[in-house]
Structure 1
Amino acid sequence: MASLLDPAARGRVILVGAGPGDPGLLTVRAVEALKAADVVVHDGLIDPRVLDIAPASAQRISVAKQRARHTLPQEGINALIVAHVRLGQVVVRLKGGDPFIFGRGGEEVEAVRAAGLPVEVIPGVSAALGCAAEAMLPLTHRDHSSAVSFVAGQCKGLADQDWSGLAGQGRTLVIYMGLATATDIADKLMADGVAPDMPVAVLERGTLSGSRAMKTLLADLGPMVARETVKSPGIIVVGEVVELSDATDKLARWARIAESVA
């Protein structure tokens, strides 16, 4: 099948990963797709400079979501995309990070296919990779970590998730959407046997202006997020590799940490 970026092809969907924020991290193929767009259906955290790549005539539709408050439910987004494609338009569904890593890209592909319409996916730099690179934080390292796992800090509630064995010595755990539940996440990991003094990093607004990279110990994760008034978007990295990063040490005194887990 010919590429959906063929300018002669009308009425199709291109799911595009916008990366962690910095427009310089877009792929060449993502830029090509944006330039071909008639409609851009985009997440709320997309940098305006990325949206500016699309033609001035292209319609821009925000489907921004916030925790516990979606301006448009996923079913509505799916229907919106399908409706525009049926008008013969090139619809770029622009998603932060990578569409297939906690981006509901799989659900949207299913919806478009179910409608009998063509769809292409252009991957993006996931937030974990982009933010970690900015902080000089290797997610794997021959001396410190031979495995890395990605989990969602809100998906279906923490109680429904089994993270046993995902964090600890020689392993790295990356937690998306976990800032609001940082204290619960730390408690969950420590209950699973992860040491309270395991290094953790919080990467806030990675690759965007005002980004911060902070590190502390697992037992101090929730208190640090509160002390530093960390805001979304952000990811949490748990593992020995955190010690290799350029993240600023926000470690409270051990006595304070001991109080938080008492």
Structure 2
Amino acid sequence: MTHFAQLEAADFPELQPGSVWLVGAGPGGPGLLTLLAYHALGQADVIVHDALVSDAILALAPVSSERIFAGKRGGKPSPKQADISLRLIELAQAGRRVLRLKGGDPFMFGRGGEEAEALARAGIPFRIVPGISSGLGGLAYAGIPVTHRDTNHAVLFLTGHDETGDVPGAIDWPSVAQAAPVLVMFMAVKHLPVIAGRLLAAGRQPEERLTIVSNAATPQQQVLETTLFAASSLVEVPTPAIVVLGEVGTYRQSLDWYVEAVRSHRFG
């Protein structure tokens, strides 16, 4: 039996009409989709996807599936979250099999919790399909282990902007600065100078290694290595990007495997 035949024979659930699956598409490459995400793509009547879902991933769905763009990108006109949730409800109430496809993991700064709450309030059946977060998989594709026994036993994940697009006002930056040796920051490039200044003021060292991974897990991946102090003057950093502060970035010197994979056209 082939691998695909085994997949088809496996007991995967059916995406039922009138229901919504909130699915994580992973950090970039189609090869990082989970089997359940791939299974969902093959069943959906309509795919409501964000800006981080690539054309290569969408191409895995049947041509008959309707695609609806619901992307949010900083500084650009974007649909409101309430409108996206309402659209999911309306599509499900119309009897459609709805796939809400998000980059990374829907519950890791992906607003999946908000959308699931809206579906629950409306009585819409839903399923959560976790994805590989860019804060894990994206860093792995840059040769950065998010934890390593020789450098850190703790890591802290945070977002670089709130719902208004500003630096999150509710974050206790002095506490964050001292909470873990490694900080992984999502959507932080726009406000990186401000964030760097607050971390420096809270006691992080100016020479501490800061690594930015742009377009992670795709052939367009770029990695910028700098310091926390120098981050305050960075300009023109490609996005989407994941930012990691901490000495785990030093492992790229020996673990940067993806550069050779791209050169050899071995993507995924």
Q: TM over 0.5: same fold?
A: yes
Tell me the TM-score normalised to structure 1 length: 0.87
Structure 1 alignment gaps of length 5 or more: 249-262
Structure 2 alignment gaps of length 5 or more: 1-10, 257-268
Question: SS state of the match for residue 245, structure 1?
Answer: helix
Q: Higher strand share goes to which structure?
A: 1
Which residue of structure 1 aligns with residue 262 of structure 2? none
Which residue of structure 2 aligns with residue 207 of structure 1? 217
- The answer to whether the 8 A contact 1:4-1:12 is kept is no
Deviation, structure 1 residue 53:
1.4
CA separation of 1:55 and 1:11: change in aligned 2, threshold 3 A: same
Distance 2:248 2:212 in 1: 13
Q: Letter of the aligned partner of 1:50 in structure 2? A: I
Distance 1:210 1:53 in 2: 20
Deviation, structure 1 residue 70:
4.1
Q: Which of residues 115, 118, 121 is equivalent to 1:114?
A: 121
Distance 1:219 1:22 in 2: 32
Residue 5, structure 1, aligned to residue 13, structure 2: yes
Distance 1:136 1:52 in 2: 28
Distance 1:167 1:195 in 2: 10
Q: Letter of the aligned partner of 2:156 in structure 1? A: S
Distance 2:13 2:19 in 1: 9
Runs of 4+ in 1 over 6 A off after TM superposition: none
Q: Letter of the aligned partner of 1:90 in structure 2? A: R
Distance 2:249 2:210 in 1: 6
Which residue of structure 2 aligns with residue 193 of structure 1? 203
CA separation of 1:72 and 1:169: change in aligned 2, threshold 3 A: closer
Q: Letter of the aligned partner of 1:188 in structure 2? A: R
Question: SS state of the match for residue 85, structure 2?
Answer: helix
Deviation, structure 1 residue 59:
0.6
Distance 1:211 1:46 in 2: 15
How many residues are matched?
242
Which residue of structure 2 aligns with residue 146 of structure 1? 153
Distance 2:146 2:100 in 1: 28
- The answer to whether the 8 A contact 2:197-2:232 is kept is no
Matches within 5 A, 1:1-262: 5-6=13-14, 9-155=16-162, 157-167=167-177, 171-223=181-233, 225-226=234-235, 229-246=236-253
Distance 1:231 1:144 in 2: 28
Q: Letter of the aligned partner of 2:46 in structure 1? A: V
Tell me the TM-score normalised to structure 2 length: 0.85
Deviation, structure 1 residue 49:
1.2
Percent same amino acid among aligned pairs?
A: 38
